[in-house]
Amino acid sequence: MEPGDRPDGSSSTEDADQVLRARAGDNRAREALFKRHLRLLRHRVYRLLGPDPESEDIVQEAFLRAFSNLPKLIDPQAFGSWLSKIAIHLVNHRLRRRKLLRRLGFAQGADRPEIMETVASSEVSPATVTEARRVYALLDGLPAEARVAFLLRHLEEMTVPEVSAQMGISERTVKRRVALAESRLSPFVQFGSKEKLSHE
């Protein structure tokens, strides 16, 4: 899925119209943008961050920042991609803070079913959910930027240029960070099988 795509099939033209109306103070337009992008953004944040009770806070903060900075958005049609970039920045900050505080394993509340269901579909087996928990535990040991680049590439199935655009870094840096993550995880994870982490 391309950055900014919506599962409801809505177009970037619809976003542009709503953004222009929201800039003019139309609260209904803001609500429409929120409803249109909430599911995809929540899905992306939860999969990047892993089981963490602060995931929903990040989703809400991303929307707040986007709406408060709408005048700075150059291309109204790019609202979805722009919102995703804001959320990825917040995820990186959260991961760095987690590492700084030397949190080991999952954050408190990580085993709550409603959190793990955002990482693995309810249709998958308990063994797959357990595997997802194990992989996210390994990911917690990575630098924040390497973790996010790796997950955007392998879990969100973005191309290197797409990851570069979303993270605001060069393609060469993306490749280095993904390679670092792969080298750390390769003894434990088979990269030929993405379905173990996939929500689809």
pLDDT in tens, 32-48: 999 999 999 999 998 88
Q: 128 and 156 in contact (C-beta within 8 Å)?
A: no
* Per-residue pLDDT at 193 exceeds 50: no
- Among 68-82, 151-165, 177-191, whose mean pLDDT is lowest? 177-191
Distance of CA 150 to the CA centre of its chain: 11
CA neighbor of 135 nearest in space, from 105, 173, 96, 172: 105
Q: Is the dihedral of CA 129, 134, 140, 146 positive or negative?
A: negative
What pLDDT score does 104 carry?
40
pLDDT tens for residues 90-138? 998 888 776 655 444 444 444 444 444 444 445 556 666 676 677 777 8
Beta strands in 2-109 (DSSP E): none
Question: Which stretch of 23-32, 94-103, 175-184 has the lowest confidence by average pLDDT?
Answer: 94-103
One-letter amino acid of 107: A
What's phi and psi for 192, nearest 5 deg? -75, -5
